[in-house]
Amino acid sequence: MPFRDECGVFGICPQTEASRQTYLGLYALQHRGQEAAGICSGDATGLHLHKALGYVADVFSEAVLDSLPGDAAIGHTRYSTTGGNVASAAHPFLIHGRFGQVALCHNGNLTNTETLRAALIADGHTFTSPSDSEVLLALINRAQADTLEDAVVSALRQAEGAYSLLVLTEHTLIAARDPRGFRPLAMGHMNGTTVFSSETCAFDLVGAAYIRDVAPGEMVVVPRDGSPLRSVFPLPKVQPKPCVFEHIYFARPDSLVYGKSVMVARREMGRLLALRHPVEADLIVPVPDSGVSAALGYSEQSGIPFDFGIIRNHYVGRTFIEPKQNIRSFGVKVKLNPVRHLLAGKRVVLVDDSIVRGTTSKKIVQMVREAGAKEVHMRIACPPTTHSCFYGIDTPKRQHLIASYMSLKEIEGFVEADSLGYLDLKDLEACMGDDGQGYCYACFTGDYPVVPEPKA
Amino acid sequence: MPFRDECGVFGICPQTEASRQTYLGLYALQHRGQEAAGICSGDATGLHLHKALGYVADVFSEAVLDSLPGDAAIGHTRYSTTGGNVASAAHPFLIHGRFGQVALCHNGNLTNTETLRAALIADGHTFTSPSDSEVLLALINRAQADTLEDAVVSALRQAEGAYSLLVLTEHTLIAARDPRGFRPLAMGHMNGTTVFSSETCAFDLVGAAYIRDVAPGEMVVVPRDGSPLRSVFPLPKVQPKPCVFEHIYFARPDSLVYGKSVMVARREMGRLLALRHPVEADLIVPVPDSGVSAALGYSEQSGIPFDFGIIRNHYVGRTFIEPKQNIRSFGVKVKLNPVRHLLAGKRVVLVDDSIVRGTTSKKIVQMVREAGAKEVHMRIACPPTTHSCFYGIDTPKRQHLIASYMSLKEIEGFVEADSLGYLDLKDLEACMGDDGQGYCYACFTGDYPVVPEPKA
Amino acid sequence: MPFRDECGVFGICPQTEASRQTYLGLYALQHRGQEAAGICSGDATGLHLHKALGYVADVFSEAVLDSLPGDAAIGHTRYSTTGGNVASAAHPFLIHGRFGQVALCHNGNLTNTETLRAALIADGHTFTSPSDSEVLLALINRAQADTLEDAVVSALRQAEGAYSLLVLTEHTLIAARDPRGFRPLAMGHMNGTTVFSSETCAFDLVGAAYIRDVAPGEMVVVPRDGSPLRSVFPLPKVQPKPCVFEHIYFARPDSLVYGKSVMVARREMGRLLALRHPVEADLIVPVPDSGVSAALGYSEQSGIPFDFGIIRNHYVGRTFIEPKQNIRSFGVKVKLNPVRHLLAGKRVVLVDDSIVRGTTSKKIVQMVREAGAKEVHMRIACPPTTHSCFYGIDTPKRQHLIASYMSLKEIEGFVEADSLGYLDLKDLEACMGDDGQGYCYACFTGDYPVVPEPKA
Amino acid sequence: MPFRDECGVFGICPQTEASRQTYLGLYALQHRGQEAAGICSGDATGLHLHKALGYVADVFSEAVLDSLPGDAAIGHTRYSTTGGNVASAAHPFLIHGRFGQVALCHNGNLTNTETLRAALIADGHTFTSPSDSEVLLALINRAQADTLEDAVVSALRQAEGAYSLLVLTEHTLIAARDPRGFRPLAMGHMNGTTVFSSETCAFDLVGAAYIRDVAPGEMVVVPRDGSPLRSVFPLPKVQPKPCVFEHIYFARPDSLVYGKSVMVARREMGRLLALRHPVEADLIVPVPDSGVSAALGYSEQSGIPFDFGIIRNHYVGRTFIEPKQNIRSFGVKVKLNPVRHLLAGKRVVLVDDSIVRGTTSKKIVQMVREAGAKEVHMRIACPPTTHSCFYGIDTPKRQHLIASYMSLKEIEGFVEADSLGYLDLKDLEACMGDDGQGYCYACFTGDYPVVPEPKA
């Protein structure tokens, strides 16, 4: 139950009913953002955009999809980080400029947004929102370039940080990924159609086959006329650093991310966790849903039985009205309910994917203990998260990350666990099949592959 | 993935913010009905009703709950069996009659509704909907009785079939259960307050403790003034026959139903299934979510590893728009996605709770096989369902139940499984700790405890 | 700007698209009630009902009208007199009873509702709302009668007060009007189809021709099979007393009510008002919209120019948000705006249809004076309203009617007019072509044709 | 019933609750645009925007107005000229650029939009909509100027055509009007607060006094700190040409436009029309609402009685569902109903403000004749409209204007009137107190004060 990711992207070209296929793709990527959704579709006669706050199923109706014709489309699901009227920050963004109509959506955060934005403003450009997508579009539009493709390359050369982006014009669909490859972007195909998605679970729903990832630093151009797609690597080559948290928490377990099974990785994390932090116990209980695979791995390795000692209510929506005179906390209870008759008298190992502020973990431990557990041992399927992310994950400021200011023992005390164990970084690397160079572990180490601009 | 249940009920008295507590209760009972929700609250000055189509979280707002004052309340979540404008059939029903205002909601189906209704109409009564709740209210109102309690008893003496009902008046909250106890009704308490609920998971959310079930044939009267509750058994005693399908499928796994853990029963079903129908395989995969506990039991008994080879998309809502030119079936794929890299090349045991028409099972088997499974063995955690239910479960007519017209081998062929095994009735009884007399198994045996009236 | 009426009714039979025609009829009767609307349609296979809070155009969509098939329909627009959740009080009401399905809606108030209701409750009947429509339906259902028609007659014999009602069954459409004929009910035809409506403006929209009124005390039966309609007069004959306020205020000016032009009557009221209460002035200004015709008549008779010195904003909706720190009253200003350059320095005669509490009139006089009028003379196109209505008009209690406790001079002072004149009762009679016996003038005289039951 | 206007604007500074006051202003300007509404408010800490499709009363709620703090605000009501998803074209527009946040809304059309837009795009700018407001904002942002005021001046020097605009920044509210003064813009004050509005009826509602118009070519700067407002005339002086159609049709009759009473002007048009085109008749009937004042003038001059022979249904909303098998036209009938008993046997003079395509006039004449009128004479309170407008009025293309291709006699025949008379241009000038130079009469003469750019 940790950080929240900021987006899922999906694109398709060429394909009849491109917007309906994109709707399917977004449906499968709903877990990557529930605040807003949008699709831009079109063909040589022009682009069409619809985006709004809400779930994919609520934002799009038959009538809306009918108003999005064309044989190519890009779409986006968004988790917003700011309050208020965020409708203006929903993706995709569509501009009319020197290359005609150009739409863009992306997953990830630029780390030099303010610098670029200030320069663009000084140069006479204007923005309608704080989104870094608008910055990317402005860079494209103002590039010293004659073709859109060259303009996109020019923009990518100026942008720093994390982006897996899709660009739609009247002639082309372009996909690109930053040189570090911070955020995922998979490529698939179906009968002459190329598809892109943050995760492969969207391919499964539209019926496409996964081919490979768009590589870090790669730009793939899909012409609308069906001619072969082109791949270029216009940026200086650097060591890729894809985000490891996709496998720890974000991605759907049925997805391949970076070509690697999320579910298999999680199970292995649980297995190694059991090896390093064994404990005598009666029951392995996952914090649902994100701790399930690791808990299965822990159970497998330890031989201690696994069961759903905590049940998640999947009907929980946005609104929940608490009693006015209430003194109990509903924050966790509305979503999670301990299974009293399963936990009573047991020594329980709670497996979760991560700890952020520690307050939720504390409530869960209390809840399990009140349900009758004799002992509650907490096992976390990743190392202590000590640093904020600047590459597209909505983390709190560093000072709010409990592991940044408390020792293991102190955290153990704070969450009131009988014992606490985190996965070692080395073991995490092993689970990912990594030699220590292949992923971004900055939230555990503070070793940032790209230094962010100082905050104003 | 079988039948759908028709209701959840919740009641509370006396309690400040009774309607808000009932809202919590219904929130926890949402899985028992997503079509409509309603709450009637009140005190000596009158009753107040709000009911509408939709989820609990959508039907009730702060303003609506503020319009439902009083220290007692009853509520209902409904799954509707008929199409069209079903708002008129939402519960609770509220009448003004000789006992003043009386509200009622219930879970279950009367088996002599048409007979009673015809007699009441002949006697000058009128109805505003086809609901058997209105029939119960009419029986109460027309009873030869001087007090409301006696009138309720009179009504219960005429009603046949299944009902777990709650009655609210300006003075009293009454709970009653039919003599067979077909549908569940649990009783709890918290600081002098009595609560009733279809399942104990609602007690967990409001913070009440489970005491016992309202017994089959029992009527419990909770006076609003805080005086002790009264229990009577006004009906001829018969062998109770609570519905076993609550444990197989309906109830939330964290609930106690009939005082017995749903989750524990399901796991035991899976364990016995593995004992009776073993198979050489590599992976135990549940059909989520209802097959999960049985699959864990099957894995435990067989020693074959368990994993989530099929992932359920929990964001699936009511609307889903398919591509117009689509030739693939989205019925199952929207909700369930096979984990290709987990299933590929494996001999898989699929564990589900039951098979109704067989078409969904067939699609799931196909899906798993297309994802690369080498063998697909289907294991069902209950006996073949061969007969329709008349006691409150929305089953298809008998001729649509695949097990009513196909042999085991034929079903195996139809769903295209490499092998198929059902739980034996004897084993099901064993899981429930039953000697064969204690539950209604009519959907497996056709042995109906109460004979329904012939359909017009 | 006085009292608010409580309903408009419309019925049609037989006619393809009966519900769509009824929608048209209600559209034209929207001014008679904006709180709720409903249509019940059907044929020999059953009746279908849809009703909800809101305007006709909002309550009914294409989909809703498609769900209301059948060749006969009745509909209703409602102004509700009580707050809270009034959805349960919207018309029509539909019951299932001994005559099968029966739907009813009406305009008017019974004066013995509580007596009838108490007797019915004592006899075992129940009600779902406080509506007297339900009482009428109960009387019909419980009548000692073999046919529905006889049952309706029996019900009418027990009901006292004001009703213009429509009854729809699977076989028949029935229209009836109380013996006094308090509320209007016109009958029209178009190509073999019979239509009923509170006002003829609805006939204009559906394209029907006005034939005559349903007579006071008459019941008209329209068989669905196209056989001739039957008229009966089952009630003792009394002197009819139709409500004169329809012509003063309620009805649309383009309607015939009681076969008499509303607009012509209003103009004549203004003319006689000018004759009896002349004044030296520069400008005749109506309080829009209800005072317009009388003001034209006053201008015509007096020779003083007429102009719209007050403009009404027709976009005013239900919600209007006032500034929080506001000290000015927006009650009248939101809807009415004085035309400063027209009024400045003028001696103005303000013509309105009536004065209820006096507070609105006072605000309007102030507003006109602040806009620069030198003198403001108020002329009211009816006698002082001194008594409450019990026949279907939402008047305040007698003690709130300013004319019940203030003299003419005192009212003049209260509203701060330079002079005030009311139409004499004799003149009102003359405008209606009446010898003093033909209409109900109870709100001016307290001479109630039917004595209401004492309030509990 | 002619052309539709495209906007109303309102601005206020400094004032607590500026957004709520602007809401009031837009409420009064609702007749100038019902498609969309928007408000941008703010202070030195930033600007806040809310805009959406719909009526003012629907677009803004208490919560929305609470989210629009600050002591200055601008607002807009919009009539959209294009179909589809026009939300992106609602005003105001808000950009982040070199002057910080700048919001703009305007009434009117630039005549060199495409030229400016093409140049801006060539220069690297991008647009999110086809709105010319965005072009104005881009010109402001890219001006060779150090201050916002100078930048606005620079933009105005490039813009051609019609604009009455309001600009809001964190420091200033600016109002400006094109040199011809095509569209109105009034200025008022209240207790140290300056207000701007398209019409003075908005001043009446907020309680402000009209001072004068923003002059053609003038720019008024209202500092937020309460220091005196500054007026500059930065543009070359030309002969002003305010749109005369405001007085003929658009403006509310209670407004002053260009300091001149709309109602008085309309009445005078009717009077002169009677002088030039007299006819023997029994009744003067306005086409409501726009023909009312002219009809009163015609009646006054001719001595023929005036009455509302056509009644307008003010409850007509956006949606109206016609019977499916309908053969009659509901286009006019839904809104207008002839008063049969008033028209029957009469020689009727129908007075309307203008004729556009002629089809509506034809339907109204038919309707009046079918209601029994013996003769129908049509009188139009303006000259024949023969040319399209390029300055902010939504007129059809020239070839669809009936007067552009038919003679008077032919139009008379087309609309099937017994006679037809238009107001002469000279008389129109007289009504406006004009010597023929003071207003834009281009829709009657084709004499365009500003030549529009050729359409692509």
| Interface check B124 vs C, CB under 8 A | yes
The model's confidence at residue C436, banded by pLDDT at 50, 70 and 90, is: confident
The 10 Å CB-count burial string (b at 16+, else e) for B281-294 is: bebbbbbbbbbbbb
Tokens representing C130 are 């406080």
Q: What is the mean pLDDT of chain C?
A: 92
Beta strands D7-13 and B100-107 are: unpaired
- Beta-bridge mates of residue C285: C350
The pair of three-digit structure tokens given for residue D133, joined into one six-digit string: 């407001």
Q: Is B141 on the interface with C (CB under 8 A)?
A: yes
Q: How distant is the Cα of A204 from the closest Cα of chain B, in angstroms? A: 7
Do B and A make contact via 3 or more CB pairs under 8 A? The reply is: yes
Q: How far is A144 from chain D (nearest CA, A)?
A: 10
pLDDT in tens, A45-84: 999 999 998 899 999 999 999 999 999 999 999 976 543 4
Looking at the partner chain, which of C62, C311, C325 has a beta carbon nearest the beta carbon of D254?
A: C311
pLDDT at C425 over 90: yes
Q: What would the pLDDT profile of A206-235 be if each residue is shown by its tens digit?
A: 999 999 999 999 999 999 888 899 999 999
3-state secondary structure of C57: helix
Residue A389 annotated as binding site: yes
Model confidence pLDDT, tens digit, residues C366-390: 999 999 999 999 999 999 999 999 9
Q: Is C201 annotated as a binding residue?
A: no
User: Nearest chain A Cα to B340, which residue?
Assistant: A254
Q: Mind telling me how many Å the CA of A341 is from chain D's nearest CA?
A: 46
Which one-letter DSSP state was computed for residue D181? Answer: -
* Residues 217 through 256 of chain C touching chain D, CB cutoff 8 Å: 252-254, 256
Q: Does A50 sit within 8 Å of D85, measured CB to CB?
A: yes
The complex scores an ipTM of 0.92
**C411 Cβ neighbours under 8 A, 6+ residues apart:** C355, C358, C384, C402, C403, C420
Secondary structure in 3-state letters for chain A: CCCEECEEEEEEECCCCHHHHHHHHHHHCHHHCCCEEEEEEEECCEEEEEEEECCHHHHCCHHHHHCCCCCEEEEEEECCCCCCCHHHHCCCEEEEECCEEEEEEEECCECCHHHHHHHHHHCCCCECCCCHHHHHHHHHHCCCCCCHHHHHHHHHHHCCECCEEEEEECCEEEEEECCCCCCCCEEEEECCEEEEECCCHHHHHHCCEEEEECCCCCEEEEECCCCCCEEECCCCCCCCCCECHHHHHHCCCCCEECCEEHHHHHHHHHHHHHHHCCCCCCEEEECCCCCHHHHHHHHHHHCCCECCCEEECCCCCCCCCCCCCCCCCCCCCCCEEECHHHHCCCEEEEEECCCCCCHHHHHHHHHHHHCCCCEEEEEECCCCCCCCCCCCEECCCHHHCHHHHCCHHHHHHHCCCCEEEECCHHHHHHHCCCCCCCCECHHHHCCCCCCCCCCC
**What is the residue type of C276?**
R
Residues D367-376: pLDDT tens digits?
Answer: 999 999 999 9
Could you confirm whether B431 is annotated as catalytic? no
Q: Per-residue pLDDT tens for A301-336?
A: 999 999 999 999 888 766 778 777 665 667 788 899
Q: Is C243 annotated as a binding residue?
A: yes
Cβ distance of C17 and D292 shorter than 8 Å: no
Residue showing tokens 């001014």: C31
CA dist list (Å): A314 to B54, B205, B323: 16, 14, 27
Contact between A301 and A274 (Cβ < 8 Å): yes
Q: List the subunits that have 3+ CB pairs under 8 angstroms with C.
A: B, D
The reply to whether D259 touches chain C by the CB within 8 Å rule is: no
CB contact under 8 A, C254 and D296: no
Interchain contact B/D (3 or more Cβ pairs less than 8 Å): no
Q: Is A341's CB within 8 Å of B261's CB? A: yes
Q: Assign A3 a pLDDT band (cuts: 50, 70, 90).
A: very low
The answer to whether residue B320 neighbours chain A at the CB level (below 8 Å) is yes
Minimum Cα–Cα distance from C23: chain D residue: D321
Answer whether the bond into residue C184 is a cis peptide, omega within 30°: no
Nearest one of C199, C206, C296 to C247, comparing CA atoms: C199
- CA atoms lying within 13 Å on the CB side of residue A21: 31
Q: C129 contacts in B (CB within 8 Å)?
A: 96
pTM assigned to the model: 0.91
Residue D327: per-residue pLDDT: 57
Strands C336-338 and B375-380, sheet pairing: unpaired
Would you say residue A135 has pLDDT above 70?
yes
d(CA A264, CA A149): 38
Looking at residue D56, its amino acid is: V
Number of Cβ within a 10 Å radius of residue B58: 13
Among B240-244, C343-347, D45-49, D392-396, the range scoring the smallest mean pLDDT is D392-396
A144: which residues sit within 8 A by CB, 6+ positions away?
Answer: A154
d(CA B4, CA D43): 56
CA closest to D322 among chain C residues: C20
Instruction: Give the three-state DSSP class for D220.
Output: strand
* pLDDT for the residue numbered C83: 38
Two structure tokens written together for D302: 């001719």
pLDDT tens profile B340-384 = 989 999 999 999 999 999 999 999 999 999 999 999 999 999 999
Mean pLDDT, residues C194-206: 96
User: Does the beta-carbon distance from B320 to A30 stay under 8 Å?
Assistant: no
Cα dihedral A16→A22→A24→A30 (10° resolution): 180
Q: Is residue C24 less than 8 Å (CB to CB) from chain D?
A: yes
- Per-residue model confidence (pLDDT) at position C329: 64
**How many A-B residue pairs are in contact by the CB < 8 A criterion?**
149
pLDDT of residue C356: 92
Confidence at residue D1, expressed as pLDDT on a 0 to 100 scale: 37
**D139: nearest CA in chain A?**
A124
Mean pLDDT of chain D: 92
- Residue B195 CB contacts under 8 Å (≥ 6 apart), including other chains: B10, B11, B12, B21, B25, B187, B188, B189, B202, B203, B206, B208
Taking contacts as CB-CB distances below 8 angstroms, the residues of chain D near C306 are 296, 306
By the CB < 8 Å criterion, does C144 face chain B?
no
CB contact, 8 Å: A122 with chain D? yes
- Optimal mutation site among D45, D60, D126, interface A, most CBs of chain A within 10 A: D126
* Residue whose tokens read 């205020």: C249
Q: A interface mutation test: which of D128, D131, D136, D154 has the most A CBs within 10 A? A: D128
Q: Count the neighbouring beta carbons within 10 Å of the beta carbon of residue B398.
A: 14
pLDDT at D2: 39
Residues found in chain A: 456
DSSP string across B402-445:
HHHHS-HHHHHHHTT-SEEEE--HHHHHHHTT--SSSSB-HHHH
Taking CB atoms and an 8 Å limit, are B98 and C128 in contact across chains? no
The pLDDT-based confidence of B436 (bands split at 50, 70, 90) is: confident
Distance CA A407, CA A402 (A): 9
Binding residues of B: 243, 290, 352-353, 389, 440, 443
Q: Name every chain B residue with its beta carbon within 8 A of the beta carbon of C141.
A: 124-126
Distance from the Cα of residue B276 to its chain's centroid: 28
Confidence of residue D84 (pLDDT cuts 50, 70, 90): very low
Pick from D21, D322, D327, D337 the residue to mutate for testing the C interface (most C CBs within 10 Å). D337
Lowest mean pLDDT among A188-202, B113-127, B411-425, D86-100: D86-100
D271 contacts chain C (CB < 8 A): no
